[in-house]
Amino acid sequence: MITKRIIPCLDVRDGRVVKGVNFQGLSDVSSPVELAKYYSDSGADELVFYDITASAEGRRLFTDVLTRVAERVFIPLTVGGGINTLEDFDRVLKCGADKVSVNSGAIRDPALVGKAAKRYGDQCVVISADVKRVNGRFTVFARGGRDDTGLEAIEWVKRCVGEGAGEVVLNSIDTDGVRGGFDLEMLRAVSEAVDVPVIASGGAGSVRDFVTLFKTLPRVDAGLAASILHFGEVTVRDIKTALRDEGVNVRL
Amino acid sequence: MTGIIDYGVGNLFSLRSSLAMIGEDCAVTGAPEELRSFSRLILPGVGAFGDAADKLRATGLFDAVREYAATGRPLLGICLGMQLLFDKSLEYGEHEGLGLIPGEVTPIERDIAPGLKIPHIGWNALSFKKSSPIFRDLRDGEFVYFVHSYHATGCGPYVSAVTDYGGTLTAAAERENVYGCQFHPEKSGETGLKILRAFCKLEG
């Protein structure tokens, strides 16, 4: 049977991995190529690279890094950050990405998801949504959590899936970086609304949080993690061993 | 030297990198007349069957691949490239395939429990139906990475591996020198590299 996926997420700026707490106070962690190889060897099922660079020079460094990772690491690679046009899809796919994740780019141009799915296939297009509760309503934020779009999250995700997005990454701004567990309420709402894979993001603080995630929400397909893994307190193998012991199917 | 057939369908970066990683010389080619110069060929592909078959025909590769297979040299189809090896596909209509392995490509929906997500995306375990030279370094139950909504059916004697997704799906098939993997060996970590390494040792 298909396994639940554990996906380390690497935020990359100017060719280096960083991880912020609630998107602020970024701190340098390590080299993306080294980390990618390490994670692949330790059982990561997939890797996500978010390019959080603003400059053209940083973007060039990012594609260089991506190419070097894709030459050495043979598990699925998803790229996000700075994806606004079909040319951006092309740029990262040529450097070895398998899937491309769109966030603010889809909010700016709602036709982007559909156009990309038609050209590269649904399996290639991931909709990533940064969601925060505003007056009790799940609301989509753009530009790395800075701009309130006013869009209701469930409707937004359903619309993107309808246009051809093949997977959904749901990042809860409310739990991101807090490391107190995934946002189960938000994830439940989204995973019940769509029939494509849903990847949980934001809040993983312990091995237990992954067990709780998959035991509580069997419709969630994968869990994303950054700081918990980058600092080496917990390994992918630790997470998977705990999941297997609890009867959750994993690749181990 | 291993040839990777480029007919404008899908991303060849990972396949080239993974062959480089195992130390196999390879070249990408889209020219039908060049195929015969390779000791073995890989037919990759993602997307829709009908479009891909049309592209193979438009470029003259359709007949060239069939002729190559008839020489007895090893041919490996991956994902959509595997599906193209069969007689036909029922994806958006009915389309004729290369006819190198008997069988047809049908929606996985027909063979799995209702309520499961389609496509079948992620890592799933291989269960071998017979011994295959390309899986000789694998143990039963090793995991590989799948992304697909269709699979080969009606090809019973040629199935070399299956996987369980709320029903049995064809994961790999082979007939003599023609091999197909529904999953992506170039995305399946060390297990995938073992498969590619074994394939690259085959001689026609």
Average pLDDT, chain A: 90
CB contact under 8 A, B123 and A251: yes
Q: Average pLDDT of A45-73?
A: 89
Query: What confidence score (pLDDT) does residue A61 get?
Result: 87
Q: Does A199 touch chain B (CB under 8 A)?
A: no
What's at B184, amino acid-wise?
H
Q: How confident is the model at residue A19 (pLDDT cuts 50, 70, 90)?
A: low
State how far residue A208 is from chain B, nearest Cα, in angstroms: 22
- Residues A248 and B126: their CA atoms lie apart, in Å, by 18
- Residues B87 and B94: their CA atoms lie apart, in Å, by 10
| Sign of the torsion formed by the C-alpha atoms of B80, B84, B90 and B94 | positive
- Residues A219 and A197: their CA atoms lie apart, in Å, by 8
For residue A159, give the DSSP letter. Answer: H
Q: Is B155 a catalytic residue?
A: no
**Dihedral pair phi/psi, residue B183, rounded to 5°:** -85, 180
Q: How confident is the model at residue A34 (pLDDT cuts 50, 70, 90)?
A: confident
- Residues B15 and A251: their CA atoms lie apart, in Å, by 22
Q: Which residues of A have a catalytic role annotated?
A: 11, 130
- Residues A164 and A114: their CA atoms lie apart, in Å, by 6
**Dihedral pair phi/psi, residue A237, rounded to 5°:** -65, -35
Strand A147-152 versus strand A137-142 pairing type: antiparallel
Nearest Cα to A129, choosing from A142, A147, A112?
A142
Q: How far is CA A85 from CA A133, A158, B75, B133, B203, in A?
A: 28, 21, 37, 44, 44
Work out the number of other CB atoms within 10 angstroms of the CB of residue B113: 8
CATH number (3.20.20.70, 3.30.420.10, 3.20.20.150, 3.30.465.10) of A5-245 reads: 3.20.20.70
Cβ pairs bridging A and B (under 8 Å):
81
Q: Say yes or no to pLDDT of A21 above 70.
A: no
Nearest Cα to A187, choosing from A160, A164, A210?
A210
CB contact under 8 A, B193 and A123: no
Homologous superfamily (CATH) for B2-200: Class I glutamine amidotransferase (GATase) domain (3.40.50.880)
- Residues B58 and B7: their CA atoms lie apart, in Å, by 9
Q: Does A193 touch chain B (CB under 8 A)?
A: no
- Residues A62 and A35: their CA atoms lie apart, in Å, by 15
**Residue A185: left (phi > 0), alpha (psi -120 to 50), or beta?**
alpha
State how far residue B168 is from chain A, nearest Cα, in angstroms: 10
Strand B159-164 versus strand B143-148 pairing type: unpaired
Contact call for residues B188 and B200 (beta carbons, < 8 A) = no
Q: Average pLDDT of A84-91?
A: 93
ipTM: 0.91
Query: What confidence score (pLDDT) does residue A14 get?
Result: 85
Q: How confident is the model at residue A118 (pLDDT cuts 50, 70, 90)?
A: confident
Which residues from chain A sit within 8 angstroms of residue B193, using beta carbons?
74
State how far residue A76 is from chain B, nearest Cα, in angstroms: 6
Q: Does A122 touch chain B (CB under 8 A)?
A: yes
Cα angle value B46/B51/B55 (rounded, 5°): 95
Q: For chain B, give the number of residues.
A: 204
Which residues from chain A sit within 8 angstroms of residue B145, using beta carbons?
75-76
Out of A74, A124, A221, name the one closest to residue B122 (CB): A221
Residue A35 DSSP SS3: helix
Q: How confident is the model at residue A56 (pLDDT cuts 50, 70, 90)?
A: confident
Query: What confidence score (pLDDT) does residue B46 get?
Result: 82
> Which parts of chain B sit beneath pLDDT 50?
none
Query: What confidence score (pLDDT) does residue A28 get?
Result: 52
CB contact under 8 A, B11 and A93: yes
Q: Say yes or no to pLDDT of A84 above 90.
A: yes
CA dihedral B3, B9, B10, B13 (to 10 degrees): 30
- Residues A184 and A110: their CA atoms lie apart, in Å, by 27
Beta carbons within 8 Å of B113's beta carbon, 6+ residues apart: B166, B167
* Residue in chain B lying closest to A198 (CA): B117
The residue annotated as part of the active site, out of B151, B181, B184, B200, is: B184
Which residues from chain A sit within 8 angstroms of residue B47, using beta carbons?
121
- Residues A28 and B165: their CA atoms lie apart, in Å, by 41
Q: How confident is the model at residue A24 (pLDDT cuts 50, 70, 90)?
A: very low
